[in-house]
Amino acid sequence: MKSKVYTLTGDKGMTSLVGGKRVSKDDLRVEAYGTIDELNAQMGLLAHNSKLDIKGMHDFVHKIQNKLFNIGAYLATESTTPDTPVFGLTEADVRELEAKIDAMDAELPPMHGFILPGGSRLSALCDVCRTVTRRAERRVVSLSKEAAVNPLVIQYLNRLSDFFFIFARFNNIHNQFEEIYWDKNA
């Protein structure tokens, strides 16, 4: 028998963490993994862009989405310590992001100011993912002040926002969209 999607257990503003503990839906932990979930949903839009197949990025975006599910599950589990490993997330994942960033950046012209978000649709989606990643990072940092969080989570999110920034630029340049620089006198 198929179970119902609605359980009625959250009708009073409470939810369960992994392990069963009930917390308010505005708890820092719920905010942190909820923002990771929002980022993953935004990446779903990014993944369905027809121009994403540049340099195997389609598969790489799906890989990141899986990493985000792992991070979300980790954050939804209260009984962790700073040394508790995040299943499916390693320092090699951070280095892989750095390698992707470096490879794309090597093909880009130098920046000469702040670039406005946008350009191509794909780049705009990257910019949305970047800003949601930054918010997720802020939520996890806030959580880390009250609860144990493996520092690798923050490091990965920090690098992921850099990845989206460079990926947005990369897509604009490779799809011949002009980068628009901030004009503080506009």
Tell me the CATH number at 145.
1.20.1200.10
- The stretches in the chain having pLDDT less than 70 are 4, 6-12, 14-20, 23-25, 50-53, 55, 80-81
Domain annotation covers residue 90: no
Q: How many domains are there within the chain?
A: 1
Whether 41 and 136 have beta carbons less than 8 Å apart is answered as no
Domain holding 121, by residue range, is: 114-181
Task: Establish if 54 belongs to a structural domain.
Answer: no
- In-domain check, residue 43: no
Taking the C-alpha atoms of residue 92 and residue 155, their distance in angstroms, rounded to an integer, is 12
Q: What local confidence, expressed as pLDDT, does residue 165 receive? A: 97
Residue 84 lies inside a defined structural domain of this protein: no
Q: What is the pTM of this model?
A: 0.89
**pLDDT tens column, 42-68:** 999 998 876 666 768 888 999 999 999
